[in-house]
Structure 1
């Protein structure tokens, strides 16, 4: 699977049309105030090109960001340097965290948790968060809901055409896993270049997520609908979890 390699340099152009990172960051920072989080050490998991890191890191004394893709981290490094932000960027699997420190806030945004296809990896991920979270810190992450993956993304095809960038996005759902095949045509000078990406996400029901959180001694403080309200419904598409360690 070839995730986010050639895609990295056009990622922001696509994602910023749909995601308001500024609004998400304000909600997360508000949650930090609500739960009396110390604004000292921040960790952004599956940080991608650093969009969330860029918004939240200025509010903390120290910041770290982790991603599995060197290409995405390269884009993040350029972005954060341009903002004058000193962030520790680390290439690491979020289901095998070994940072040897603890954090007051940990985030993992934009359905990166759904990329963990095996329950064993999901549990390892939550165990890693537990060991890296300060006793009074919070962990904020979101998932594409079971409804969204099975009823909206699954077995559907989407297209996008913006002149210099065109893509075809074909999805195939089987056994609660959606395979997403993306074909991009990007214009360079007078020619279009093609590249392909293959992504996979697993549909997790809330009771499965919450079972593994509990197994890893993480307590759910609240659930939000797409970083907005706490009124989760059967057709919520993005579910945001706010958790902390059991005391």
Structure 2
């Protein structure tokens, strides 16, 4: 699957128009204070270009960030260096974590969990988090809801156009997996360059997520609607989980 390669170079231009990382990070930091988390070691999983890492790392003494895309990590490295943030960047699959240390806060934001298409991969991911989470630490992650993937993303076409970037986003839903085919046209001098991306996400029902979390020794402290203090509904699009190890 061709995923997050050339896209890394325009990712921030697109995502920052839709995602309020500032508000999300403030909520996560407040959760840390609510649950008496030590601001010592922080791990950001599927960090992408480091947008969440950049916001949260300054509050911790040490920080690590993991992503499977070396191209995204290069962008993250540039961004974090410009902010003079010393962060350990690691190219690794989040369903096969082997960092040999534990963390007080682990995050995995922007529906990266949905990219794990098999329950076995999801289970390995949660087991990895369990192994890397301090007993008093918390794990905060979000998913695109079953409703969003099956009713909003699935079998729909979206387009975007401005003076610099144009894209066509075509989705096909089958067996709870949405295949997303994106065609980009990027302006370069007096011409446009084309590249294509293919992304896949699985729609997980909450009871599946929660059953696997419990089987991996992780206790759900709370659930939020899109990083806000709102209860989850049948039409919530982004569901945020706050979990920690069972005592």
Fold match (TM-score > 0.5): yes
1:106-147 Cα offsets, whole Å, 9 max, x none, are 000000000000000000000000000000000000000000
Which residue matches 1:155?
155
Post-superposition offset of 1:164? 1.1
Alignment of 1:176-187 (within 5 A): 176-187=176-187
2:22 matches 1:36: no
**For the residues of structure 1 that align with 2:208 and 2:55, how far apart are their CA atoms?**
30
**For the residues of structure 2 that align with 1:176 and 1:163, how far apart are their CA atoms?**
35
**For the residues of structure 2 that align with 1:152 and 1:118, how far apart are their CA atoms?**
22
Which residue matches 2:82?
82
**For the residues of structure 1 that align with 2:133 and 2:189, how far apart are their CA atoms?**
47
Post-superposition offset of 1:230? 3.7
Unmatched 5+ stretches in structure 1: none
Which residue matches 1:213?
213
Which residue matches 1:25?
25
TM-score by length of structure 1 reads 1.00
**For the residues of structure 2 that align with 1:127 and 1:89, how far apart are their CA atoms?**
21
TM-score by length of structure 2 reads 1.00
1:7-43 Cα offsets, whole Å, 9 max, x none, are 0010000000000000000000000000000000000
| Paired residues, number | 247
Off by >3 Å, runs of 4+ in structure 1: none
**For the residues of structure 2 that align with 1:76 and 1:190, how far apart are their CA atoms?**
29
Unmatched 5+ stretches in structure 2: none
Alignment of 1:54-133 (within 5 A): 54-133=54-133
**For the residues of structure 2 that align with 1:81 and 1:233, how far apart are their CA atoms?**
40
Which residue matches 2:190?
190
| Secondary structure in 2 matching 1:231 | coil
**For the residues of structure 1 that align with 2:77 and 2:222, how far apart are their CA atoms?**
32
Post-superposition offset of 1:224? 0.2
**For the residues of structure 1 that align with 2:10 and 2:162, how far apart are their CA atoms?**
13
**For the residues of structure 2 that align with 1:230 and 1:207, how far apart are their CA atoms?**
19
When the two chains are superposed, the root-mean-square deviation of aligned CA atoms in Å is: 0.4
Q: Answer yes or no: is the 8 Å Cα contact 1:222–1:230 preserved in 2.
A: no
| Secondary structure in 1 matching 2:94 | coil
